[in-house]
Homo-oligomer: A and B are copies of this chain.
Amino acid sequence: MAIELKDLTKRAENYSQWYNDLVVKADLAEQSAVRGCMVIKPYGYAIWEKMQHELDRMFKETGHVNAYFPLLIPKSFLSREADHVEGFAKECAVVTHYRLKNAPDGQGVVVDPEARLEEELIIRPTSETIIWNTYKNWIQSYRDLPILCNQWANVFRWEMRTRMFLRTAEFLWQEGHTAHATKEEALEEAVKMLNVYADFAEKFMAVPVIKGVKSANERFAGALETFTIEAMMQDGKALQSGTSHFLGQNFAKAFDVKFINRQNELEYVWATSWGVSTRLMGALIMTHSDDNGLVLPPRLAPIQVVIVPIFKNDEQLAIINEKVEPIVALLKERGISVKYDNADNKRPGFKFADYELKGVPVRLVLGARDIENGTIEVMRRDTLEKSVEQLEGIADRVVALLDEIQDNIFQKALRHRESKTFVANSYDEFKQLIEQGGFVLAHWDGTTETEERVKEETKATIRCIPLDGDTTPGTCIFTGRPSARRVIFARNY
């Protein structure tokens, strides 16, 4: 499969098309034969695995354990919590039969009408219901609390409009589901996990995020409070990148999960749930990448360093191989994943373009003249800058450079966000700013009605009420009514 870089749409031409092109051309994912479902290809999955690895470590460090709950959920479970069913029933994949049989006409197989389920099962769109039905048996007393479970799983929501990684019918995610003896503890947990998500996004993905609370309208179906991390993409649109929900006692009531508290009274259990998904891949791609392809943060790059030799014959190659060997060994010793690509069936130019497309953070090039001069060419993917350096001590400098790149792309994304974050004091100003793209801090009267009117007229939604930031009261840009504080509006993915 040849790389046709010239076919990668430029961001300035069509940002959305650039994204779709890049996902396919960088071998991250592709559409499958099933509507709205993608195939995550090995290179894309390798990035997701690195994300999983770090997140899983962070979850365990904060006291969580993994478990696994069933894929299928009895239909009736969904109805137990009124908001929850409202939020998810319309996009459920429904299993109605458990058998196929040979078609009467001998052509293929058909659903066996005799194998109809008494009660239909749905493929989990999220697992609160099946998990709380299980927790009922695990919890009798405050001594059984807290329960701090996470599950890595696939979920399914029959979305009408899908885009790879950003919104797919099936997606991979983790969902934490915790049970607590007190409201305070549950709230603390929800905020703790929001902070874990924010740390992960900023330190590993190099994606700056704003932590905040969702408006009632944007809350998870069944939550009392939804916390969110919001990132800004290069086109100024927001991407909700992770959410953590304080569920109150809603699911405990729906599934009758009570416990004896320290005061020896029966009480409903307090809950949280929190999740991030393969959507993070979308955030990663859209935050850093450029017209040459992916730009990956070194901490999540499957290949952190690639070494390409330039040689005219086997003799030259043999000499280069010998020089490269200790560099590879030193880098591996330092925990760096390095690839030495000395294949002779591809030209160096092809390799350069390929590794740029794939976002490999550092490229080292070693030719015959370098050997003579004791030098090596270093190219950093984030800035595309090349420099010729001393071969001696290169491994240590590469390790430092990887850190520098990690920091640089974070700072660049942060500067971009800051340059596109505005304050609007009138609705006219607001509309103009939203149109040009970015986050707009504006006063809002706190009503769902205003939120929906603004969305209708401008396609901007309230991304969150930031946890940090200015809390000066004011007047709503839309209605002129009192506003407790500015919130963040933006168009979003």
Contacts and interface: CB of A to CB of B under 8 A. Distances in A.
Interface string A128-140: 0010011001101
A100 B122 contact: yes
Given A68-B172, A120-B111, A93 B98 contact: yes
A73 interface: yes
Contact of A96 (B97, B123, B134): B97
Given A40-B67, A70-B170, A90-B99, A108 B33 contact: no
Contact of A72 (B75, B99, B133, B170): B170
Interface stretch (A77-85, A208-216, A313-321, A358-366): A77-85
Interface in A143-192: 144, 149, 153-154, 156, 158, 170, 172
**Interface SS of chain A:** mixed
Contacts of A79: 108-109
A42 interface: yes
Contact of A68 (B45, B69, B109): B45
Given A94-B100, A96-B96, A37 B71 contact: yes
Nearest to A1: B144
A91 interface: yes
Contacts of A78: 100, 109
B42 A158 contact: no
Contacts of A130: 32-34
A397 interface: no
A76 B108 contact: yes
B98 A95 contact: no
A42 B85 CA distance: 28
A46 B65 contact: yes
Contacts of A38: 70
B94 A98 contact: yes
A344 interface: no
A100 B100 CA distance: 23
B108 A98 contact: no
Given A89-B100, A93-B95, A94-B95, A71 B156 contact: yes
A401 interface: no
A49 interface: yes
Contacts of A144: 1
A474 interface: no
A483 B492 CA distance: 71
A121 interface: yes
Contacts of A99: 89-92, 94, 158
A72 B37 contact: yes
Nearest to A121: B34
A98 B137 CA distance: 31
Contact of A111 (B77, B96, B111): B96
A323 interface: no
Nearest to A49: B66
Contacts of A72: 34, 37, 93, 156, 170
Interface centre among A33, A49, A79, A156 (most CB of B within 10 A): A33
Contact of A46 (B34, B48, B66, B153): B66
Nearest to A151: B45
Nearest to A148: B42
Contacts of A49: 66
A65 B44 CA distance: 11
30 contacts: A30-B134, A32-B69, A32-B70, A33-B70, A33-B77, A34-B74, A39-B69, A40-B67, A40-B68, A42-B66, A42-B67, A49-B66, A70-B170, A71-B170, A75-B108, A75-B109, A75-B111, A78-B100, A78-B109, A79-B108, A89-B102, A93-B98, A93-B121, A94-B95, A94-B97, A94-B98, A95-B95, A95-B123, A96-B96, A153-B154
